[in-house]
């Protein structure tokens, strides 16, 4: 059984409010669509594993994919349904047939799961031969900060640690392996390290470090990087991306 640690209620509500406006989420949406649209056909079945209230499920539906999502949070699923987002389910209430999806995405989910290997194996079992698995996770334990704590993360990843989950999954094609949020890596690392060094606890979440000017500036920087990410891989960043095709 996969057990996902639920975020603090306040942070959960904050995610619901900012996901469609915050620069980081907006560009991550574009990164996901870049990958899905490049390797998966419109109309294919896509599962969002750890879908929260269904933001990405709706995003994928709006772009022509047969998307559905599962999450352990009853509050999140109830909220999503109140927004008329369909095909989102509680993990405990929804069982899937193995090898049934053209793609499974898990965007910033595995770090919440204590047994991430078991979770990855389950994700892998749901993908058809020829199908895609898309994983994003926060990178580098030295960047550990207040956001990781309030989100109840178990870990941040280096790429080799993420790849270690692949040990027993069978034959696959490595489609893409890259860090991202690279252009903003140095300022983010500086803030995280200084905050930890001086034990700064003046905020409840990194999402609170934002205003209209910064939101536009960081969006422009991150979105420029995202356009390059379509054709190149980065050796460092605050997040890691792994895309695999099942053979």
Give the residue carrying structure tokens 């990178």: 139
Residue ranges of alpha helices (H) inside 98-173 are 116-125, 146-150, 159-163
- Token code pair at residue 80: 């999503």
pTM, two decimal places: 0.90
Supply the pLDDT for residue 151. 81
Residue 78 domain flag: yes
Q: Is the pLDDT of residue 206 over 50?
A: yes
Q: Is the pLDDT of residue 131 over 90?
A: yes
End-to-end Cα distance, the chain: 26
Residue 223 domain flag: yes
Residue 204 domain flag: yes
Supply the pLDDT for residue 1. 32
Length of the chain: 247
CATH number (domain holding residue 75): 3.40.50.150
Number of domains present in the structure of the chain: 1
| pLDDT one-digit tens code per residue, 185-204 | 999 999 888 877 776 665 55
Find the domain containing 125 and state its range: 9-246
Supply the pLDDT for residue 204. 58
SS3 category, 114 = coil
SS3 category, 144 = coil
Query: DSSP state, 235?
Result: S
Residue 3 domain flag: no
> Residues 41-53: what's their mean pLDDT?
96
Distance (Å) of CA 34 to CA 27, 76, 84, 160? 10, 26, 25, 24
Q: Is the pLDDT of residue 4 over 80?
A: no
Query: Which is higher by pLDDT, 121 or 2?
Result: 121
């Amino acid at each position: 059984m996969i057990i996902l640690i639920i975020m603090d209620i306040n942070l959960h509500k904050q995610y619901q409010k900012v996901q469609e406006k915050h620069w980081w989420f907006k560009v991550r949406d574009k990164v996901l669509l870049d990958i899905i649209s490049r390797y998966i056909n419109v109309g294919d079945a896509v599962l969002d594993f750890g879908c929260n209230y269904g933001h990405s499920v709706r995003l994928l539906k709006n772009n022509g994919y047969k998307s559905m999502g599962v999450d352990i949070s009853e509050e999140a699923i109830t909220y999503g349904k109140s927004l008329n987002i369909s095909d989102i389910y509680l993990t405990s209430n929804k069982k899937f047939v193995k090898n049934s999806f053209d793609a499974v995405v898990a965007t910033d989910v595995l770090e919440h799961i204590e047994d991430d290997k078991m979770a990855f194996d389950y994700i892998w079992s749901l993908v058809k031969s020829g199908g895609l698995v898309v994983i994003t996770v926060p990178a580098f334990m030295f960047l550990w900060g207040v956001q990781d704590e309030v989100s109840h993360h178990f870990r941040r990843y280096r790429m080799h640690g993420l790849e270690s989950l692949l040990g027993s999954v069978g034959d696959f094609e490595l489609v893409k392996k890259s860090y991202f949020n690279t252009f903003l890596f140095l300022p983010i690392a500086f803030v995280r390290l200084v905050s930890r060094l001086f034990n700064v606890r003046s905020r409840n979440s990194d999402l609170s470090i934002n205003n209209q000017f910064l939101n536009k500036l960081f969006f422009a920087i991150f979105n420029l990087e995202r356009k390059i990410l379509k054709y190149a891989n980065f050796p460092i960043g605050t997040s890691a991306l792994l895309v695999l095709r099942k053979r």
